[in-house]
């Protein structure tokens, strides 16, 4: 019994220093390993983000890309005007929503072509060539969209949101932050779209009034004026080459 106790005590003396040494080595290795991991994620000491993190950020930005397309381009104005035109013609599902969205998207690409060209030349191409990092590319692209949006924003709407945010008076338009510019730009776009829609509605409203008056004078109370006026509205729209006129007017409204 005494012999076994002595053996156990000797093993404890041998194992205890080894455990202490391992704990000390592990405790000193973990912070060093974490530091090296963070440095490798950042591309080394003082470096930018690695390619894997840049791809992760880009994939995250893709989730908000639809909102950016809606709120920072001409898409909103074009889509609202096309929707009002369909209501003015008295059509329920023709053209369908998919067609209206497709027309709005491609017309927006046409309108935004100069801005997108500048983004490609000053942000995307230098970034692909390794001349600038991701943060600089995003900032440069944002400046191009900022310039487009500020040109389409009414001063009254911009001043209203600046007052609500209690922001100081901006010396230059470039100093307006996106937090103020975005809601002001969307408000201006909706206002312009409704103004264009009002002008579109007038000739079709006249046709509806004329058809209703004729039907009432003939005593045809039970016949819907919408059914009778629809062919005349379509004929008027086709005779004046309405689609080409509307698309050209929408593109010119961003000049």
Residues 236-246 pLDDT 10s: 888 988 889 99
Question: Considering the domain boundaries, does residue 107 fall inside one?
Answer: yes
The 10s digit of each residue's pLDDT in 163-193 is: 888 888 887 888 888 888 899 999 999 999 9
Phi then psi dihedrals of residue 69, to 5 deg: -65, -40
Is 49 inside a domain boundary? no
Asked, for residue 151, whether it belongs to a domain, the answer is yes
Residue 14 lies in a domain: no
Residue 44, in any domain of the structure = no
Number of domains, the chain: 1
Instruction: Tell me what percent of the residues of the chain surpass a pLDDT of 70.
Output: 80
* Structural domain harbouring 248: 74-252
Our measurement of the distance from residue 29's CA atom to the centroid of its chain's CA atoms, rounded to an integer in Å, reads 45
Kindly report whether the peptide bond that precedes residue 95 is cis, defined as omega within 30 degrees of 0. Answer: yes
Res 48: pLDDT:
53
Both tokens assigned to 14: 């041998």
Specify if 1 maps to a domain: no
Residue 52 lies in a domain: no
Would residue 80 count as lying in a domain? yes
Q: What is the mean pLDDT of the chain?
A: 78
**What's the pLDDT tens digit per position in 223-240?**
777 788 888 888 888 898
């Amino acid at each position: 019994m005494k012999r076994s106790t002595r053996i156990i005590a000797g093993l404890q003396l041998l194992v205890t220093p080894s455990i202490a040494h391992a704990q000390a080595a592990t405790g000193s290795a973990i912070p060093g390993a974490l530091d090296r991991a963070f440095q490798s994620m950042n591309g080394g000491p003082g470096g930018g983000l690695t390619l894997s993190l840049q791809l992760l950020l880009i994939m995250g930005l893709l989730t908000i890309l639809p909102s950016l397309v809606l709120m920072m381009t001409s898409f909103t104005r074009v889509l609202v005007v096309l929707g009002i035109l369909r209501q003015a013609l008295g059509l329920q599902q023709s053209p369908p929503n998919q067609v209206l969205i497709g027309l709005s998207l491609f017309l927006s690409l046409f309108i935004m072509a100069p801005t997108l060209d500048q983004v490609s030349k000053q942000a995307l191409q230098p970034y692909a060539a390794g001349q600038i990092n991701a943060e600089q590319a995003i900032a440069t692209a944002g400046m191009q969209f900022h310039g487009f949006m500020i040109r389409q924003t009414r001063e009254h709407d911009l001043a209203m949101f600046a007052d609500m945010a209690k922001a100081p008076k901006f010396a230059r338009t470039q100093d307006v932050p996106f937090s103020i510019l975005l809601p002001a730009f969307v408000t201006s776009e909706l206002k312009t779209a409704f103004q264009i829609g009002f002008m579109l509605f007038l000739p079709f409203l006249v046709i509806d009034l004329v058809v209703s008056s004729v039907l009432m004078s003939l005593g045809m109370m039970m016949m819907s004026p919408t059914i009778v006026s629809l062919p005349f509205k379509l004929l008027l729209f086709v005779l004046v080459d309405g689609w080409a006129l509307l698309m050209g007017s929408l593109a010119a409204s961003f000049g």
